[in-house]
Amino acid sequence: MQEGGELIKLDYGAEEEAFHMNHTKRLQPFERGNHYHGTYEIYYLLNGQRTYFIRDRSYHVLGGDLVFINRHEVHKSSVIGDPRHERIVINFREEFLASSLTLPDVDLMSPFRQKSHVMRLNLRSQMLVNSVMDKLTRELQERRTGWQSAVKLLLAELLLFAVRQAEEADGQPARVDEHPDPVHRKISEVVRYLHAHYSEPLKLETLAAEFYISPYYLSRCFKKVTGFTFIEFLTLTRIREAQLLLRRTDRKVIDIAQAAGFDNIAHFGRTFKKATGLTPGAYRRQKDS
């Protein structure tokens, strides 16, 4: 991972903390490897342009766009054209707001559940977001009395803004374009296919045949777009489904393994433990995260 060209980097708190903000300006190409986590993420691109892969498609993100990524959603940003860009990333946990702020008339988390992950803002809205970001930065830097409350309130303000913005945009769809690169579109199709068929036996070769491309090419393009290898992605999808079923149902582990696409329990257990650190049974008994 290249680190050159960073001009501003403000980090507050470790990854595990409830709230985390990072403002970075880059001149050199930079790829943050694919990942997913239990925190909500707000990505604000101040200028430049990026490709952002989220869940099953690539977005062409421009300066002034706000991106909302739900917990556990797979995402990865990468270069498109000019590598220079400036961006703010905010991560926070559910409890951060929920534990101290109850707003009965609005659901602040709704922006994370929208159909489109990217919100394109007009200049006026961008100014508003900029000012909230500035205030957040200042609070985090100066840490004056009550700064933690101030951060919560500012985050709530940002989210409330997004909720309203989403409502307005509902009328006139300010659609964010599908990614221009045909390879990205193709891989989006493949990912959607995987999301629909993970419970069946799948291998690269048949998948490639399904989409009329060579397995070699598919393997490479898939990695380039999603940041995951084919197997990594497929396993991730299956494990997450299994986790869901373990949490939400009381079906037997064997059935769940089957439903998630593992036709071999031994292999399922092994893979599950590697991915989550727990055996399926232990995971079910824990029931947090």
Partner DNA sequence: CATGCTGACTTTGAATTGTG
Partner DNA sequence: CACAATTCAAAGTCAGCATG
Measured from the Cβ of residue 9, the count of other Cβ atoms closer than 10 Å reads 11
DSSP E strands: which ranges in 175-278?
none
Residues 13-72 that bind DNA (CB under 7 A): none
Minimum distance, C-beta of residue 283 to DNA, in the bound complex (Å): 7
- The CA–CA distances, whole Å, from 249 to 78, 257, 271 equal 37, 13, 20
Q: Judged by CB, which is closer to DNA: 109, or 275?
A: 275
> Which residues, numbered 190-209, are part of the site for DNA (CB under 7 A)?
201, 203-205
Residues 6 or more apart whose Cβ sits within 8 Å of residue 97 = 108, 152, 155, 156, 159
Q: Does 9 bind DNA (CB under 7 A)?
A: no
User: For the window 264-283, what string marks contact with DNA as x by the rule CB under 7 A?
Assistant: xxxx-xxx-x-----xxxx-
**Chain-centre distance for alpha carbon 156:** 20
Of 8 and 254, the one with the shorter C-beta distance to DNA is: 254
d(CA 53, CA 178): 11
Q: Which is nearer to DNA, 192 or 274 (CB)?
A: 274
State the Cα–Cα distance between residues 15 and 27, nearest whole angstrom. Answer: 24
Each residue 140-179 as x (binds DNA by CB under 7 A) or -, in order, gives ----------------------------------------
Q: Which two tokens stand for residue 67?
A: 């991106």
Residues making contact with DNA (CB under 7 A): 182-183, 201, 203-205, 213-217, 219-220, 222-223, 229-232, 234-235, 252-254, 262-267, 269-271, 273, 279-282
